[in-house]
Amino acid sequence: MTIDLEALYIDLHQHPELSFQETRTAGIAAGHLRDLGLEVHEGVGVTGVVGVLQNGDGPVVWVRADMDALPVGELTDLPYASTATGIDPAGNTVPVMHACGHDMHVTAMIGAVEKLVAERGEWAGTLVVLIQPAEEYGAGSRAMLDDGLRDLVPHPDIVLGQHVTPLPAGTIGVRPGTQMAASDGLTVTLHGRGGHGSRPHSTIDPVVMAAATVMRLQTIASREVDPRDVAVVTVGSIHAGLKNNIIPAEAKLELSLRYPNDEMRDRVLASVERIVRAEAAASGAEREPEIRTDHTLPPTINDADATARVTSALQRVLGESSVVDPGMFTGSEDVSWFARDTGVPLVFWFWGGVDPAAFAAAMAAGTLDKDVPTNHSPYFAPEIHPTIEVGVTALSAAAREFLG
């Protein structure tokens, strides 16, 4: 039996599902894992799937793929472009697209498991396959762990995972230490005093308060953080008011914060709080603003020794020059909860999905940022080949490195 991975990828791409709604995707993944002879658990952390392949005594390796899609309308002209819609948590009908490549992650995972099953005479140990929901909410790995994952499967010796990214296809990006930033999502509610648009002096205008706050928050990264360090403060959402002649009573800001380590996190969070409270005070707000943490993602930190082993394993199968240090990414991941909760090393790497010729041309022209769509772009479109094959090879080779 050979699984048609291209067909699987196209099918998943055409049927993307929003976070914690990945029932179809989970069913397909579970079906393949069952067909491959794994013991399968479904509904772990709402829609998560767990597969266990016991193959004699030896190390326990957890391999993880995430499976959720995003509320993005696909704008690629691919023949298999998504036209799907979904219902978001607010009840809105939204377009849905695999704009982060998690369809590729599931496909490569199924291919890697198939390969490891075929090679089972050559290794010993236990492979635990985690098909995780809701990575885009930063909530799926916690949901699986909180739903009793650790009681369901053997304790790991290592956690491995991979993410498709705008590197040339065939290239792997991995580094020891911080691979991806830590992140917090905050909702800030600023309280003013509403009133008639013609009588601003009788109100406390939260729109102006919000505008001043947004501008001042920009000074954290530009004025407070050492230029040799990294921190990101993004205000991705701002909402206030319903009509031009009404001064509203409140404004809401949604912030996305990124940092490489826990020290920078403490510092940026303190700065955000200081600025939000001070701008409210400057506006004469009668009520303190509220700052709510919606999610917290730890930094994705690759264990140095395990990363060295994975790097040489990948160099062996893909060629010495295929593995590069991509630097730290300011994106964030929730994969590391699997390693943090179990106290074991993590190795998480990126694999390229861009046509190498197109990547080289954009690089030469200095237009990488413009011409190579990144994850979450409506134009994100990994090359099917050799991206699937490289993902299968990388994941299976890394797993084999630890499986006896």
Q: How far is the CB of 124 from Zn ion (least distance, A)?
A: 32
Which residue's CB is nearer to Zn ion, number 100 or number 129? 100
Cβ(53)–Cβ(129) under 8 Å? yes
Which residue's CB is nearer to Zn ion, number 100 or number 113? 100
* Stretch (H or E) spanning 217: helix 206-219
Look up residue 15 and give its amino acid: H
Beta bridge partner(s), residue 172? 323, 351
Q: How far is the CB of 105 from Zn ion (least distance, A)?
A: 8
Q: Is 371 helix (H, G, I), strand (E, B) or coil?
A: helix
Q: How far is the CB of 272 from Zn ion (least distance, A)?
A: 23
Two tokens, residue 100: 């982060």
Which residue's CB is nearer to Zn ion, number 100 or number 174? 100
> Which one of the spans 71-79, 83-91, 100-108, 167-175 is the region binding Zn ion (CB under 5 A)?
100-108
Q: How far is the CB of 155 from Zn ion (least distance, A)?
A: 26
| Tokens 């200095």 found at | 366
Which residue's CB is nearer to Zn ion, number 300 or number 393? 300
Q: How far is the CB of 60 from Zn ion (least distance, A)?
A: 25
d(CA 162, CA 142): 18
> Which one of the spans 98-106, 190-198, 203-211, 296-304 is the region binding Zn ion (CB under 5 A)?
98-106
Binding mask 42-81 for Zn ion (x = CB under 5 A): ----------------------------------------
> Which one of the spans 79-87, 94-102, 154-162, 320-328 is the region binding Zn ion (CB under 5 A)?
94-102
Residue of closest CB approach to Zn ion: 100
| Tokens 């996190």 found at | 265
d(CA 116, CA 124): 11
Half-sphere exposure of 286 (CA within 13 A, CB side): 8
Which residue's CB is nearer to Zn ion, number 100 or number 306? 100
Q: Is 142 helix (H, G, I), strand (E, B) or coil?
A: helix
Which residue's CB is nearer to Zn ion, number 41 or number 105? 105
* Dihedral sign of CA atoms 307, 310, 314, 315 in order: positive
Q: How far is the CB of 66 from Zn ion (least distance, A)?
A: 6
d(CA 26, CA 12): 10
d(CA 337, CA 295): 13
Choosing from 49, 53, 72, 100, the residue that interacts with Zn ion (CB under 5 A) is: 100
Enumerate residues 282-311 that contact Zn ion by CB under 5 A. Answer: none
Enumerate residues 143-172 that contact Zn ion by CB under 5 A. Answer: none
Strands 158-168 and 346-354 come out as parallel
CA dihedral 176, 179, 133, 13 (to 10 degrees): -110
Which residue's CB is nearer to Zn ion, number 64 or number 265? 64
* Stretch (H or E) spanning 63: strand 60-66
Which residue's CB is nearer to Zn ion, number 161 or number 345? 161
Q: How far is the CB of 181 from Zn ion (least distance, A)?
A: 13
> Which one of the spans 96-104, 206-214, 277-285, 385-393 is the region binding Zn ion (CB under 5 A)?
96-104
How many chain residues interact with Zn ion (CB under 5 A)? 1
Two tokens, residue 201: 């002096």
Q: Please, is 314 exposed, middle or buried when counting C-beta atoms within 10 Å of its C-beta (0-12, 13-18, 19+)?
A: buried
Residues lying near Zn ion in the complex (CB under 5 A): 100
